[in-house]
């Protein structure tokens, strides 16, 4: 129970990495506020944690809306009296070539993937400072924030932005014992790959198996990751718990890459 007595906010907690992170943090004794725009999925995450005996709440949240962030942080403080951990996980991906990408698609990725991280960080830090015990901000980037990928220019731009934003925040608030690190998942078996495929990633068509109707995470991972298979959300959640706990107390401004060797 590494996180007993601590409190966390996890965005995008209705499925995938966000749900796995919320469950893993709660299993270590952390009180978790789960947020998402998918209320059905968020309530399901809530039920899973409650069934396991964890302390959890849920709020509907558009992470690009500043007023909602103010309310989520206030609700977390009211419920638990402190905020120690922020997991900026909510994100979207749009698979389009630059010349085919609409301004709306670009702006949507910037709003969710980058502005959402900025707003969460901005409004979490004052509450972390009040406690006097520091805190841990964990920003979910991607291997696409470390290297370019054809057909994912918007996603790469926003995830690369998350990486350097993380480093700047780490330096700004180190004196307050607030650590800020980024996590860079590789190909993880979550619903995002179905969505990206529907967007038409021409650059990934070569990975389509003969006769297959759609791409999947394992196909993509087998083509690019030395380990040859897609990771699970729990693989990333384990890294998030590490960064949230005192096990990583001397890490800030760092990149935790969990990618099956993709970027090796």
Q: Show which residues are catalytic.
A: 155
* Secondary structure class of 149 (helix, strand, coil): coil
Q: What HEC string does 218-263 produce?
A: HHHHHHHCCCCCCECHHHHHHHHHHHHCHHHCCCCCCEEEECCCCC
Cβ–Cβ < 8 Å for 123, 73? yes
Q: What is the rounded CA–CA span in Å between residue 5 and residue 217?
A: 36
CA-closest candidate to residue 11, choices 66, 121, 89: 89
What does the DSSP 8-state code read for residue 37? Answer: S
User: Residues for the chain: how many in total?
Assistant: 264
What does the DSSP 8-state code read for residue 209? Answer: P
Which stretches within 110-191 are classed as H helix?
A: 116-131, 153-172
- Dihedral sign of CA atoms 249, 252, 254, 259 in order: positive
Cβ–Cβ < 8 Å for 9, 42? no
Q: Which helix (H) or strand (E) holds 134?
A: none
CA-closest candidate to residue 112, choices 75, 150, 65: 65
């Amino acid at each position: 129970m590494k996180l007993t007595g601590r409190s966390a906010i996890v965005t995008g907690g209705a499925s995938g990495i966000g749900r796995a992170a919320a469950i893993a943090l709660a299993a270590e004794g952390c009180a978790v506020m789960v947020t998402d725009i998918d209320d059905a999925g968020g309530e399901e995450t809530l039920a899973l944690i409650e069934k396991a005996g964890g302390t959890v709440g849920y709020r509907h949240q558009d992470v690009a809306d500043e007023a909602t962030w103010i309310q989520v942080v206030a609700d977390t403080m009211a419920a638990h009296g402190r905020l120690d951990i922020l997991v900026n996980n909510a994100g979207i991906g749009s698979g389009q070539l630059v010349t085919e990408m609409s301004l709306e698609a670009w702006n949507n990725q910037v709003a969710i993937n980058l502005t959402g991280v900025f707003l969460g960080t901005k409004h979490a830090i004052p509450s972390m400072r009040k406690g006097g015990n520091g805190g841990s901000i964990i920003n979910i980037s991607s291997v696409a924030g470390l290297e370019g990928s054809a057909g994912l220019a918007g996603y790469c731009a926003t995830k690369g932005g998350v990486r350097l934003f993380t480093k700047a925040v780490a330096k700004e608030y180190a004196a307050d014992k607030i650590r800020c690190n980024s996590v860079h998942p590789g190909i993880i078996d979550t619903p995002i790959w179905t969505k990206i495929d529907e967007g038409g990633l021409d650059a990934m068509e070569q990975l389509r198996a003969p006769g297959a109707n759609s791409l999947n995470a394992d196909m993509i991972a087998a083509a690019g990751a030395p380990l040859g298979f897609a990771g699970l959300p729990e693989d990333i959640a384990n890294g998030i718990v590490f960064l949230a706990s005192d096990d990583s107390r001397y890490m800030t401004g760092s990149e935790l890459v969990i990618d099956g060797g993709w970027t090796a």
